[in-house]
């Protein structure tokens, strides 16, 4: 703890006081009803909802993972998640507006809006438990693990002697104001957390560049690194195209093809994802929901990752692999980021960056505590256990559900060792459900068994591919395509959804109002905007040609703007 000085403690404690003050101040407002506790009264403006979602989507784990990928596999490894902008664009084109029209609390509630009967009730309850206790718990686990790795470096406690105290303190801190103020406290603190976390990331990137002799010198130093490390786009596989070679699909262009063509829009967040649905449902209206989704996608993919990538590149030059800890016989490249903090930042600035990590950490934990609680209360307890209690009763049940989920995540975090492995496992486990999540919006024939069979197949194939040691993302392609075949086959062998239920559902979301040419043009324009801007910023920072991708981004923005109100009436 000697690394911390007075200024560092002031920065960290100042942030903690701010977060707790917000929680206490908003307690009364959040306690009025579940609508306030879980959806902030459905009153969020686009920039609040979108920024909250950006803050939620990265935590202490994200800089560690991304800088670790840059060190071990190169910048192009980020297409593992950059590819998801393909499906993300579909969200701000139509899906965010449709979620707002449905006025659900969680995406699990969607099931009984789209389907009917006992199978639908079963699936809603199952999703409520599954998302609360498994998918959200996995996220909470890797976020806690990342904070654990960071604090170990800061405290010099790599032997794990303080692990239980680190995890326990983090849980208590994040739970305290989430417990009190629900989504109101989450979104208000998220605004500060996003600003502080981005400032900290940019600060460390600036210090990294300065340590290399300035911007021009850093670009020259990066140019001397292996091309496989600095290339934004993946390089061609050395063995060339080979459709029946598993290794070809797990690296280079083969992996890129899967990231863009399959995982990019057939994934667990194919139609918005739990946290996204919560923010869109909490937005002021449909147009605010779409704008929130647009701002999230731009900030998430184009702006946020580059400071972390710069630090990762600089760490290759400034930190020798022999200085990194070894976990399970392998070098832990994820530890390079906190080592760069300790190496480059002095008193005050070091504490400020630690506060920014704490902010990012809490912004993710508080959302997933609140969201997991919403699943348990809205889709399990209120739906099946006690249907007619006062709203304040459900708020208190939800608060104690957060504590339960926090304890489960803490136990798993103390046993885990790799953030990246948890991330890819989570993607694969739910990946096969991705096609069903889109089919249920656009294909009337889809029924409840489409989703049940897709999820079951996805789970089974995830463990089968893992037991066969299939490399990622080849394993992901097997899971998704296998689940798609099973889900479509099961759909045709089972009865269609109830017509009256379907008619009510489609009368709410009104897909018939879509102009298909404008819909596809807006989707394509959105993709061009995001990827053009992502590549333009990256090329500029690395000293490459950035004009062409910038033109693509501007063209995409113009097309999206022209089609914004024509592809859907919102």
List the one residue out of 295, 291, 300 whose CA is nearest residue 97. 291
pLDDT at residue number 1:
39
pLDDT in tens, the chain (570 residues): 346 778 878 888 887 888 778 777 777 776 778 888 889 899 999 999 999 999 888 776 788 889 999 999 999 999 999 999 999 999 999 999 999 999 999 999 999 999 999 999 999 999 999 999 888 888 888 778 777 777 776 666 666 667 777 777 877 877 776 777 788 888 888 888 888 889 889 999 999 999 999 999 999 999 999 999 999 998 876 555 555 566 667 777 888 888 999 988 888 899 998 999 999 999 999 999 999 999 999 999 999 999 999 999 999 999 988 888 887 778 888 889 988 988 898 888 888 888 887 877 787 888 888 999 999 999 999 999 999 999 889 999 999 999 888 888 888 777 766 555 666 777 778 888 999 999 999 999 999 999 999 999 999 999 999 898 888 888 899 999 999 999 999 999 999 999 999 999 999 999 888 888 999 999 999 999 999 999 999 999 999 999 999 999 999 999 999 999 888 765
| Other Cβ atoms within 10 Å of 95 Cβ, number | 27
Strand partners, 44: 283
Q: Beta partners for 331? A: 326
State whether CATH 2.40.30.170 applies to domain 6-513. no
Instruction: Give the whole-angstrom CA distance, residue 433 versus residue 88.
Output: 16
pLDDT at 82: 96
Contact 189, 19 (CB under 8 A): yes
C-alpha angle 368-373-377 in degrees, rounded to nearest 5: 155
Whole-number Å distance between alpha carbons of 297 and 78: 15
Task: Outline where DSSP puts E strands in 322-414.
Answer: 326-327, 330-331
Per-residue model confidence (pLDDT) at position 451: 96
Residue spans of the domains in the chain: they are 6-513
Residue 94 to residues 87, 89, 514, 520, Cα–Cα distance (Å): 11, 9, 9, 11
Range 40-49 burial, b when 16+ CB lie within 10 A, else e: bbebbebebb
Q: Which residue in 305, 410, 236 sits closest to 68, CA to CA?
A: 305
pLDDT number for residue 421? 64
Within its chain, how far is the Cα of 150 from the centroid? 20
Exposed (0-12), middle (13-18) or buried (19+): which is 191, by Cβ within 10 Å? middle
How many CB atoms within 10 Å of residue 278?
28
CA distance 42 to 52: 14
SS3 for 283? strand
Residue 245 is classified by DSSP as -
Q: What is the pLDDT of residue 178?
A: 76
- 481 torsion bin: left (phi>0), alpha (psi -120 to 50), beta (else): alpha
Q: What is the pTM of this model?
A: 0.90
Question: Closest by alpha carbon to 475, among 235, 243, 255?
Answer: 255
């Amino acid at each position: 703890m000697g690394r911390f000085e007075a200024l560092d403690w002031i920065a960290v404690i100042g942030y903690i006081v701010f977060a707790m003050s917000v929680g206490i101040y908003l307690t009364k407002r959040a306690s009025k009803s579940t609508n306030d506790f879980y959806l902030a009264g459905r009153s969020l403006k686009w920039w609040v909802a979108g920024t909250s979602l950006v803050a939620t989507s990265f935590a202490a784990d994200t800089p560690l993972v991304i800088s670790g990928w840059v060190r071990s596999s190169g910048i192009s490894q980020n297409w593992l998640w950059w590819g998801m902008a393909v499906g993300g664009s579909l969200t701000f084109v139509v899906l965010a507006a449709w979620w707002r029209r449905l006025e659900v609390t969680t995406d699990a509630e969607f099931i009984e809006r789209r389907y009917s009967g006992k199978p639908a009730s079963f699936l809603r309850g199952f999703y409520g438990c599954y998302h609360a206790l498994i998918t959200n718990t996995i996220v909470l686990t890797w976020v806690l693990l990342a904070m654990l790795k960071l604090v170990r470096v800061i405290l010099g406690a790599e032997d794990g002697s303080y692990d239980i105290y680190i995890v326990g303190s983090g849980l208590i801190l994040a739970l305290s104001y989430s417990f009190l103020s629900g989504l109101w406290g989450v979104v208000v603190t998220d605004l500060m957390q996003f600003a502080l976390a981005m400032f900290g990331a940019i600060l460390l990137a600036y210090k990294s560049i300065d340590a290399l002799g300035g911007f021009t010198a850093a670009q020259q130093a990066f140019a001397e690194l292996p091309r496989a490390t600095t290339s934004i786009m993946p390089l061609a596989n050395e063995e060339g195209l080979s459709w029946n070679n598993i290794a070809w699909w797990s690296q280079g262009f083969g992996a890129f093809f899967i990231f863009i063509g399959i995982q990019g829009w057939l994934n667990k967040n194919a139609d918005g994802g739990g946290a996204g649905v919560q923010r869109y449902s909490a937005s002021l209206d449909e147009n605010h929901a779409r704008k929130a989704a647009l701002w999230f996608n731009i900030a998430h993919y184009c702006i946020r990752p580059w400071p972390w990538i710069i630090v990762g590149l600089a760490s290759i030059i400034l930190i020798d692999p022999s200085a990194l800890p070894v976990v399970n016989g392998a070098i832990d490249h994820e530890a390079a980021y906190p080592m760069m903090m300790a190496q480059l930042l002095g008193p005050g600035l070091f504490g400020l960056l630690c506060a920014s990590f704490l902010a990012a950490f809490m912004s993710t934990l508080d959302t997933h505590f609140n969201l997991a609680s919403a699943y348990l209360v809205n889709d399990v307890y209120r739906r099946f256990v006690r249907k007619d209690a006062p709203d304040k009763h459900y708020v208190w049940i939800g608060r104690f559900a957060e504590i339960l989920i926090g304890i489960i995540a803490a136990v798993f975090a103390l046993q885990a060792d790799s953030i990246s492995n948890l991330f890819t496992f989570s993607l694969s486990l739910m990946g096969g459900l991705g096609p069903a999540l889109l089919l249920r919006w656009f294909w009337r024939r889809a029924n409840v068994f489409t989703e049940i069979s897709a999820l079951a197949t996805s789970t089974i194939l995830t463990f089968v591919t893992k037991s066969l040691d299939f490399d990622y993302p080849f394993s992901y392609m097997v899971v998704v395509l296998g689940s798609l075949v099973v889900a479509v086959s099961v759909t045709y062998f089972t009865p269609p959804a109830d017509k009256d239920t379907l008619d009510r559902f489609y009368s709410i979301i009104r897909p018939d109002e879509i102009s298909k040419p404008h819909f596809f043009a807006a989707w394509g324009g959105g993709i061009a905007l995001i990827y053009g801007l992502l590549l333009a910023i990256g090329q500029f920072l690395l000293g490459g040609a950035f004009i062409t991708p910038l033109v693509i981004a501007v063209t995409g923005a113009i097309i999206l703007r022209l089609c914004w109100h024509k592809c859907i009436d919102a």
